[in-house]
Amino acid sequence: MATESVQSGLGQRPQQHVGAGPSDTRSHNRVNHRHYVRRTEMPSLNARTLAEGLGWFSVALGAAEILTPGLLSSLTGVNRPGVARSAGVRELATGIGILTQRNPAPWLWSRVVGDVMDLAVLATGMRPGNPGRGRAAASFVAVAGVLAVDALAASHLTKHAGHPLVSGVAAPTDLYFETSIATAKSPEECYRFWRNIENLPRFMDSLESVQALDDRRFHWVAKGSPGLTLEWDCEITEDRPGAALAWRTLNGAQLPNAGSVIFEPAAQGRGTIVRLSIHYSPVGGRLTAALAKLLRQDPQTQVQEDLRRFKQLLETGEIATTNGQPTGRRSLIGRAARRWRLTSSN
Amino acid sequence: MKANVWYGKEQLRVEDVPEPRILNPRDAIVRITSTAICGSDLHIYGGFIPGMLAGDIIGHEFMGEVVEVGKGVQNLKVGDRVVNPFPIACGGCFFCQQRQFSLCENSNPNAWAAERLWGHSPAGLFGYSHLLGGYAGGQAQFARIPFADVGPIKVNNSLTDEQVLFLSDVFPTGYMAAEQCNIQPGDTVAVWGCGPVGLFSIKSALLLGAGRVIAIDRFPERLRKAMEAGAETLNYEQVDVLEVLADMTGGRGPDACIDAVGLEGHSHGVFGAYDRVKQTLMLESDRPPSLRQALKACRNGGTVSIPAVYGGFLDKVLFGSIVNRALTLKSGQTHVQRYLGPLLQLIESGKIDPSFIITHTLPLSEAPKAFRMFRDKEDSCIKVVLKPWLEPPTVGAEPAGPAKPHLH
């Protein structure tokens, strides 16, 4: 089967997490997005969960070593409670670091170093003449196993530490966000509204304005914090009336990005499933910070809300709001909820 | 303007707030002439509804006079007298097209939050938490109505406020509860709770052809109203409801059961204490004794219809009864917009006069007192209508004229 996909990327797209394409090919107009990336390139959930588990393990072991150093050291066959207690402090700090810091990778590496230290201590317990040498050997094997798990988690999280908004580290990796929404309007109506690019700031929260330079090229201005203007020129790379649109920044943009939207006819004339995909390619710490300011919510939520506003505008001509309605006196919590966009009400 | 503002569990204050203004083209502003306290407002009052913020204006049953319309509203004009439905619906989305207005996809600005809790978001409602939109409610002198070209229905001056006000919620809610029972001529319908929704369920079930309606409550004045509405009544403090229902139906059980009680239901014995403890410890969000009973009482293959409000997690609900006895479960916030026209016709033709449920009429300024009275069922309180423009009785002076609370 010939696969047709909308080229939205800025280059190599990661191939993992590929979503299942539609099995239904009745409609000639249907766009196959089998090659579409469904998730951002982030540390996989498993690595995160594993790191969290290791964090709790550290906390528990650390607490045990601090509270009952004698018991722990005799269990491991190395009868040195002082060493056990200091190892406990290390474990506890590492565990808290893993569980509380946005980027757990350095703390996982600290676990790896700690494991090596523990192995050295246990090796001293395996010398001939130590009555606990059997237990020390068993502990050595156990810690070696833990070391392997720690190293695996640490290296995975380091390799994929590319979510600057979450991890705050300066390893820039491309960000992909994808979402979809069902609307009652036809693909043609959806396409027409979107193709009128000047409509975009009406529903894309991070955009200040979009101006047409010519039929295919546009100048975008993003809403930034004071003193920071983020603008770029953009061109339409694919334009299939009633079916799909894709765009990308021209060379030299401060924040290279690309996007595509597919208007997939829903079954039995039930309107359209609109699939939006946004791809950012932040290049460096300063721009990463700029991106974080640009996307004032978590980016996945933001693209979802953008698409929801698109649907509302298309179906109702307006965006539902309570912003500006009367209220009584808000408490600190109420004002904070609004500030953090937990509610749109003032 | 004056509005009834929620500040926390059992903390209501009627105070001055800014007047609403048009925010979107399809908005209208109404000057409210009558508004009511709904049984579901008591759940907010009791602090059981998640997503409330101090400072929220509550109330979702209101009517009034249009004083301003947005440029997108063609079917209303200033001066129109309208009753407003409590769900907010756009009229254009998938659900509105199917006339399932309380499931509108476009009216909840905080849809993402509702999605986190329930999986998907229903429509926004007036004055019913930020999970359901955070819209300012109608226990106020003015209200902003979004999508005013879809919701409000015009009523002429030959009918009183009291006759049409309940089109906003409780009458359609009771009606939809009965309609969902798919009543066949001669069916027996049991109704738990004889508050306003229960009473309208009774009337509606009879209008829809039920042969017999059995109403269950514990307050004599409510049971009396139910009897007047045409039901046989059971006081659950005096009889074993399941036993009597079985006996009344030759052991088969009612053809349909309507739960018009909701998440603060009362019960005695082990389950009653169990629910109190679990709800207090926040181990269950809702107390469902009436639902448990309905699921047991209903005949095989019958329908259990739930107009009552449940918000979250229920415990010890006999799901096996639904599966093994092929019960049908129906629920949902009322698609009020769907019923406005037909039910207004029933009122106009004199088939029903919804004002029979009113027990108290008070100025809006008395709202906090009215909530307390309604919650505690003091003074046989069943339904309170609030008048936003009535002056409160001055302290020390004899309350005069219409400001005087009166029993109907």
Cβ distance of B54 and A329 shorter than 8 Å: yes
> What gap in Å lies between CA B216 and CA B192, rounded to an integer?
5
In the predicted model, what is the mean pLDDT of residues B209-224? 96
- Reported as a pLDDT band with limits 50, 70 and 90, residue A159 is low
Q: Would residue B73 count as lying in a domain?
A: yes
User: What interface predicted TM-score (ipTM) does this complex get?
Assistant: 0.88
- Reported as a pLDDT band with limits 50, 70 and 90, residue A31 is very low
The encoded tokens of residue B25 equal 């083209």
Of B325, B176, B330, B331, whose CA–CA distance to B253 is shortest?
B325
Of B30, B65, B308, B62, whose CA–CA distance to B164 is shortest?
B62
What percentage of chain A reaches a pLDDT higher than 90?
25
- Reported as a pLDDT band with limits 50, 70 and 90, residue A255 is confident
Q: Which of B330, B353, B386 is the last residue of a domain?
A: B330
The identity of residue B259, as a single letter, is D
The encoded tokens of residue B261 equal 């009680």
> What gap in Å lies between CA B204 and CA B209, rounded to an integer?
9
Site from B53, B128, B145 to mutate, A interface, most A CB atoms within 10 angstroms: B53
Question: Which residues of chain A are within 8 Å of residue B18 when distances are taken between CB atoms?
Answer: 326
- Reported as a pLDDT band with limits 50, 70 and 90, residue B254 is very high
pLDDT greater than 90 at residue B249: yes
Range from A198-207, B2-11, B191-200 carrying the lowest mean pLDDT = A198-207
Burial A257-294 (b: 16+ CB within 10 A, else e): bbbbbbbbbbeeeebbbbbbbbbbbbeeeebbbbbeeb
Site from A270, A298, A322 to mutate, B interface, most B CB atoms within 10 angstroms: A322
> CB neighbours (10 Å) of residue A11?
9
> What gap in Å lies between CA A320 and CA B121, rounded to an integer?
14
Distance from CA of B116 to the nearest CA of A (A): 12
Q: Which B residues, 34 through 63, put their C-beta within 8 Å of a C-beta on chain A? A: 53-57
The CATH number that applies at residue B83 is 3.90.180.10
pLDDT tens digits for range B238-248: 999 999 999 99
Distance from CA of B101 to the nearest CA of A (A): 14
pLDDT greater than 90 at residue A132: no
| A323 and chain B in contact, CB less than 8 A | yes
Q: Would residue B240 count as lying in a domain?
A: yes
- Reported as a pLDDT band with limits 50, 70 and 90, residue A3 is very low
Q: Which of B330, B349, B377 is the last residue of a domain?
A: B330
Q: Does B377 share its domain with B292?
A: no
The enclosing H or E element of B170 equals: helix B170-179
The enclosing H or E element of B64 equals: strand B61-69
> What gap in Å lies between CA B408 and CA B405, rounded to an integer?
10
Q: Does B305 share its domain with B354?
A: no
pLDDT at A154: 81
Q: Does B24 share its domain with B101?
A: yes
Q: Would residue B408 count as lying in a domain?
A: no
Q: Would residue B211 count as lying in a domain?
A: yes
Q: What is the mean pLDDT of chain B?
A: 93
Q: Which of B330, B348, B365 is the last residue of a domain?
A: B330
Q: B162-165, long-range: CB within 8 Å, 24+ apart, which pairs?
A: B162/B34, B162/B354, B162/B355, B162/B358, B162/B385, B163/B347, B163/B353, B163/B354, B163/B355, B164/B63, B164/B83, B164/B344, B164/B347, B164/B354, B165/B34, B165/B35, B165/B36, B165/B61, B165/B62, B165/B63, B165/B83, B165/B354, B165/B385
> CB neighbours (10 Å) of residue A92?
19
Residues near B11 by beta carbon (within 8 Å), at least 6 away in sequence:
none
In the sheet with B2-8, reading across from the earlier edge strand, the strands are B11-16, B2-8, B56-57
Q: Does B140 share its domain with B192?
A: no
What percentage of chain B reaches a pLDDT higher than 70?
95
Question: Which position has the higher pLDDT, B97 or A336?
Answer: B97
Q: Does B240 share its domain with B300?
A: yes
> CB neighbours (10 Å) of residue A221?
15
> In chain A, whose CA is at the least distance from the CA of B106?
A312
Are B101 and B115 a contacting pair, CB within 8 Å?
Answer: no
Residues near A297 by beta carbon (within 8 Å), at least 6 away in sequence:
A205, A305, A341
pLDDT at B339: 98
Displacement of CA A87 from its chain's centroid (Å): 34
Dihedral-angle region of residue A18 (phi above 0 means left; psi in -120 to 50 means alpha; beta otherwise): beta
| A312 and chain B in contact, CB less than 8 A | yes
The encoded tokens of residue A216 equal 């295919």
Range from A159-163, A225-229, A270-274, A281-285 carrying the lowest mean pLDDT = A159-163
Could you give the dihedral angle defined by the CA atoms of residues B344, B345, B351 and B353, in that order, rounded to the nearest 10 degrees? 20
pLDDT greater than 60 at residue A116: yes
Site from B23, B88, B131 to mutate, A interface, most A CB atoms within 10 angstroms: B23
- Reported as a pLDDT band with limits 50, 70 and 90, residue A19 is very low
| A327 and chain B in contact, CB less than 8 A | yes
Site from A325, A329, A335 to mutate, B interface, most B CB atoms within 10 angstroms: A325
pLDDT at A28: 37
What percentage of chain A reaches a pLDDT higher than 70?
72
Q: Would residue B191 count as lying in a domain?
A: yes
Q: Does B137 share its domain with B10?
A: yes
| Beta pairing class for B328-331 and B2-8 | unpaired
pLDDT tens digits for range B149-204: 999 999 999 999 999 999 999 999 999 999 999 999 999 999 999 999 999 999 99
Q: Which B residues, 60 through 99, put their C-beta within 8 Å of a C-beta on chain A? A: 72, 88, 90-94, 97
| A270 and chain B in contact, CB less than 8 A | yes
| B136 and chain A in contact, CB less than 8 A | yes
Cβ distance of A320 and B93 shorter than 8 Å: no
pLDDT at A152: 84
Distance from CA of A296 to the nearest CA of B (A): 16
pLDDT tens digits for range B89-144: 999 999 999 999 999 999 999 999 999 889 999 999 999 999 999 999 999 999 99
Question: Which position has the higher pLDDT, A156 or A20?
Answer: A156
Are A305 and B112 a contacting pair, CB within 8 Å?
Answer: yes
Q: Does B340 share its domain with B322?
A: no
pTM of whole model > 0.80? no
Distance from CA of A146 to the nearest CA of B (A): 36
pLDDT tens digits for range B280-291: 776 676 778 899
| B138 and chain A in contact, CB less than 8 A | no
The residues pairing with B303 across neighbouring beta strands, listed in sequence order, are: B256, B328
Question: Which position has the higher pLDDT, B274 or A2?
Answer: B274
Q: Does B241 share its domain with B340?
A: no
Q: Does B213 share its domain with B344?
A: no
pLDDT at A294: 60
The CATH number that applies at residue B216 is 3.40.50.720
Question: Which residues of chain B are within 8 Å of residue A189 when distances are taken between CB atoms?
Answer: none
Could you give the dihedral angle defined by the CA atoms of residues A223, A228, A233 and A235, in that order, rounded to the nearest 10 degrees? -40
pLDDT tens digits for range B275-327: 777 777 766 767 788 999 999 999 999 999 999 988 888 888 899 999 999 99
Range from A274-283, B22-31, B305-314 carrying the lowest mean pLDDT = A274-283
Cβ distance of B106 and A312 shorter than 8 Å: yes
Q: Does B363 share its domain with B282?
A: no
Q: Does B147 share its domain with B41?
A: yes
In the predicted model, what is the mean pLDDT of residues B22-38? 98
pLDDT at B45: 96
Question: Which residues of chain A are within 8 Å of residue B108 when distances are taken between CB atoms?
Answer: 320
Distance from CA of A201 to the nearest CA of B (A): 17
| A344 and chain B in contact, CB less than 8 A | yes
The enclosing H or E element of B68 equals: strand B61-69
Q: Does B187 share its domain with B163?
A: no
Q: How many residues does the structure list for chain A? A: 346
pLDDT at B15: 96
The count of domains in chain B is 2
Range of the domain at B207: 176-330
Dihedral-angle region of residue A280 (phi above 0 means left; psi in -120 to 50 means alpha; beta otherwise): beta
pLDDT at B105: 97
pLDDT tens digits for range B344-402: 999 999 999 999 999 999 999 999 999 999 999 999 999 999 999 998 766 554 444 44
